Chains A and B, each alone.
Chain A
Amino acid sequence: MSLLPGMNHLSLDQAPPLEIPAAFFLTASFAVMAVGALLIWTGAAAFQSNWQPLVLGLTHLGTLGFLTMVMMGALYQMSPVVAGAPIPFIRVAHLVQVLLCMGVARLALDLSGLWTGFTFGSFVLIALAVLLFLATVGFAVSKTSTQGETVAGMRLALFSLLLMMLLGLIMAPGFFDGLFPGARGFWVQIHLSTALLGWVGGLITAVSWQVIPMFYLTAPIDPFRKKVVMGLTAVGVILPLSVLLLSILFREPTNPGTSSGWDPTHAAALGALPAVLGVWLLHPVLILHNFHQRRRKRLDASLFFWQAGLCIAPVTVICAGIAYFSHDPRWVLLFGWLAIWGWAGMIVHGMLSRILPFLVWFHRFAPYIGRIPVPAMRGMLPDAWTKLGLGCHLASLLLGTIAIVTLDPWIARITGLLLLATGINLLHWMVHLLRQRPDLSALDR
């Protein structure tokens, strides 16, 4: 036991079994493959307009099927270890994963025109998955006594997830009967800023404070700067929602161009600016500077993912700015493409290549160090496979950008092929890692 008081709280029993985060991570790779397959099948049709059901299907495969799936799996692991918040009813995680998986698959099929039936069912499945997740992980993280910017960021991300889900659920019937609760653009904009900046951005920034000094040997990030990024993100999530509430309370028209004193769409966009500044400008500058000054400059493929994702973040801001003022739909598509598969996608892909080897090593091999021969974590995942994933992902990002600009169907299909390869590579090395087990027969020798 610890010779110091207060050092005995962390127990392996509190961490979830490896199978729980691993199941989420494995499923996420199928979403990447599905996006690739849909792009191969549809070609540039997916890039014609941001209002097409197909684009919405592809977007939600990326945001829910890939990003949210990985982020939920990571939170199951992080909450007890980082936030000291053991998850109650941990086996419910399997139900969350199945519901989310079914909901996203159904939504993608519905919106791609590959399935017809009771389409609202997909939203119900997704909402149930999110509610069950929040009832367990959200409850644990909100109740923990652990303080700090990482826990605060996790709370903000979980709060944003709830809001994002509620907004999506309110908007959902509009996709089938055309009756949105207000102007579609206004609601989508708030749903999007809550999802990308609050949920994805909140968690990426929160996790970065913890994992970047840990995995890449950088100096700890200044607490004041962390608070500034966190504060800006929180303000940028709350202000657009306040605008939405005010517009409902005062029944303001939410169609741009309708003059009645103030335009809620512009107000909501302005309200999101602090989060844009925090997540897509300040955070990348802080982390890239931190990387530059790291103590031991060991080359690592996962680091390139972080660097690429962070460098893309300011480019998404430029695209978002132009998209806001331009009537050319390609700018909105470009913004979405870069934000989902560039900024967030690169970071999440890179983190997977760091976190999963660590989890497999920690859960399966670390207990036997000194008792039987145990491989080093660095040797468990060949660097070449991570580099192959990086190459495919970067190439798909670049070609996807060209496809959106040129609307060339063959470039769109090659983009799909590269994304398919990215997903297959991801699945391949995850399965390779998960098949590794210690040779326990050596214990008897």
Chain B
Amino acid sequence: MNSTEYLPLLMLDVRPLIEQGHDPLEEILQALDRLSSDGLLLLITPFRPGPLITLLEQRGYRLRETELGQDHWQVEILTAATPEIADYRNLPTPEPLERVLTQVATLPPNGAFLARVPRVPTLLFPLLKERQLDWATLEITDGSAFIFIKRAGNTA
């Protein structure tokens, strides 16, 4: 896909920038500009970014932060239109696949579905293709992945 398109899933690790003494706010805002209206930006930071959370919440974003380890925080930044994330990480194969397919069966045109699964669900892709659904995945360092699925709008 070309660079002018908006992306539903993005990840930005600002730890190297902070380590070099740079303020990463501009890069974060640029990433948010590239995010689709119902997408998710996954931000990796070395500490809880309190001021940024306040700023983005004031702008209408929904944020969820998790401490993953020492100097390692993960912040999920969701737009107002981003669907809630269904967490299927604790389900063995093929239960995440079963759940995702059940959920997307009722997606309306332009409707989106977002889930976190134990790993990149390669076996799901041909089934999504068969259902004429669009999808994107984002793999995280722990091996789990986010999957964003969207049913295209009516072109008629």
User: For residue B104, which residue of chain A has the nearest CB?
Assistant: A370
Asked whether, in the complex, the Cβ of A369 is within 8 Å of the Cβ of B105, the reply is yes
What 1/0 mask marks residues of chain B from 66 to 94 whose CB sits below 8 Å from any chain A CB? 00000000000000000000000111111
Q: Is the interface of B mostly helix, strand, loop or mixed?
A: mixed
Closest chain A CB from B143 CB (angstroms): 4
A residues near B (Cβ < 8 Å) are: 1-5, 7-8, 10-12, 81, 213-217, 219-220, 295-296, 298, 358, 361-362, 366-367, 369-371, 374, 376-377
| Contact sample, A vs B, 10 pairs, CB 8 Å cutoff | A1-B134, A3-B136, A8-B125, A10-B125, A217-B92, A296-B90, A296-B92, A366-B97, A366-B98, A370-B104
Once bound together, how far apart are the Cα atoms of A215 and B97, in whole Å? 12
Number of A-B contacts defined by CB within 8 Å: 86
Asked whether, in the complex, the Cβ of A220 is within 8 Å of the Cβ of B123, the reply is no
Once bound together, how far apart are the Cα atoms of A31 and B110, in whole Å? 54
Asked whether, in the complex, the Cβ of B123 is within 8 Å of the Cβ of A362, the reply is yes
Once bound together, how far apart are the Cα atoms of A7 and B8, in whole Å? 15
User: For residue A377, which residue of chain B has the nearest CB?
Assistant: B94
Once bound together, how far apart are the Cα atoms of A217 and B142, in whole Å? 13
Once bound together, how far apart are the Cα atoms of A296 and B96, in whole Å? 14
Asked whether, in the complex, the Cβ of A4 is within 8 Å of the Cβ of B129, the reply is no
What 1/0 mask marks residues of chain B from 90 to 115 whose CB sits below 8 Å from any chain A CB? 11111101100110111000000000
Once bound together, how far apart are the Cα atoms of A210 and B116, in whole Å? 19
Closest chain B CB from A434 CB (angstroms): 18
* Supplied contacts A7-B137, A214-B119, 13 more A-B pairs, CB within 8 Å: A1-B134, A2-B135, A3-B1, A3-B134, A3-B148, A3-B150, A10-B126, A12-B126, A12-B130, A81-B122, A295-B89, A366-B101, A370-B104
Name the interface size band of chain B: 20 to 34
Residues of B within 8 A of A215 (CB): 92-93
Asked whether, in the complex, the Cβ of B105 is within 8 Å of the Cβ of A7, the reply is no
Asked whether, in the complex, the Cβ of B122 is within 8 Å of the Cβ of A8, the reply is no
User: For residue B124, which residue of chain A has the nearest CB?
Assistant: A366
Residues of B within 8 A of A7 (CB): 125, 135-137
User: For residue A216, which residue of chain B has the nearest CB?
Assistant: B92
Residues of A within 8 A of B125 (CB): 2, 7-8, 10
Once bound together, how far apart are the Cα atoms of A357 and B101, in whole Å? 18
Residues of B within 8 A of A2 (CB): 125, 134-136
Once bound together, how far apart are the Cα atoms of A215 and B93, in whole Å? 5
Residues of A within 8 A of B105 (CB): 369-371
Once bound together, how far apart are the Cα atoms of A362 and B119, in whole Å? 17
Asked whether, in the complex, the Cβ of A3 is within 8 Å of the Cβ of B126, the reply is no
Once bound together, how far apart are the Cα atoms of A321 and B85, in whole Å? 54
Closest chain B CB from A147 CB (angstroms): 15
Once bound together, how far apart are the Cα atoms of A398 and B104, in whole Å? 49
Asked whether, in the complex, the Cβ of B136 is within 8 Å of the Cβ of A217, the reply is no
Once bound together, how far apart are the Cα atoms of A81 and B91, in whole Å? 21
Return the 3 tightest CB-CB contacts between A and B, nearest first. Answer: A370-B105, A3-B136, A369-B101
